[in-house]
Amino acid sequence: MNNIYSLLLLVPVVLLAGCIGSPTRPSEFYVLNTHPATPVNSTLAKDAVSLGLGPLILPEIYDRPQIVTRSEHNRITLAEFNRWGGDLNKDLGRALADNLMSRLNTNRIVPYPWSRRYDPDFQVTVRLLRFDGVLGENASLVGIWRVLDVNQGCELAADRFSFVAETDGPGYPALVSAMSRAVADLSQAMAEQIAIIEPGCPEHP
């Protein structure tokens, strides 16, 4: 009888030891790369343009630590061991701001919400509809961006965008690199439009 009790007590200890000793796979963390470029308009004086960037709106399926990929048209996969190194929304804002600063030749870009003491020429909002990809194939960035006059509140420009960047490898590093290039393509399109916009709402007859 004592031997039976001893065995019963030993089983949980063995199971616990097995759980503690089992190796776990470490997660890998990623951030978006920035891609500086020459100003889109060489006549822009330094800091001639000031921007308030945001809000940037992500769908709930992407606003999470896991990197999202697609295996089929209507099926997504959450990568438990391949994650964003921080808040994706903030990281996207950082990458956009850095890309725009070089393209618009300005350091005067602040994230939403900004202080009342800051009076930017324009507010740029971005609503993403898709920000994912297919491993070993491509990354997709789809959404709508708008440029607003901060003081008068009117819309100065708006555009729907869709960028696809091919990956140069099979894994998550290549996918995140392609996602970064798609963000750079968006930054370029935004900068080209912003560079030719004049502040102030148009007067209607």
Per residue in 150-168, pLDDT (tens digit) is 888 789 999 999 999 999 9
CA 201 to chain centre: 30
CA distances 56 to 47, 89, 131, Å, are 23, 7, 13
Q: Cβ contacts of residue 70 below 8 Å, gap of 6+?
A: 76, 77, 132, 133, 134
Whether residue 138 lies inside any domain: the answer is yes
What was the pLDDT predicted at 72?
72
pLDDT in tens, 94-129: 999 999 999 999 999 999 999 888 889 899 999 999
Q: Check which CATH number belongs to the domain holding 66 and give it.
A: 3.40.50.10610
Per residue in 40-77, pLDDT (tens digit) is 986 777 778 899 999 999 999 999 999 999 987 789 99
Higher pLDDT, 67 or 14: 67
Does residue 15 lie in a domain region? no
Is 23 part of any domain?
no
Residue ranges making up the domain that contains 79: 28-194
Number of domains observed in the structure of the chain: 1
The residue-averaged pLDDT of 7-16 equals 43
Q: Is residue 33, in this structure, part of any structural domain at all?
A: yes
- What does the pLDDT read at residue 15? 42
Residue 71 lies in a domain: yes
pLDDT for residue 160: 97
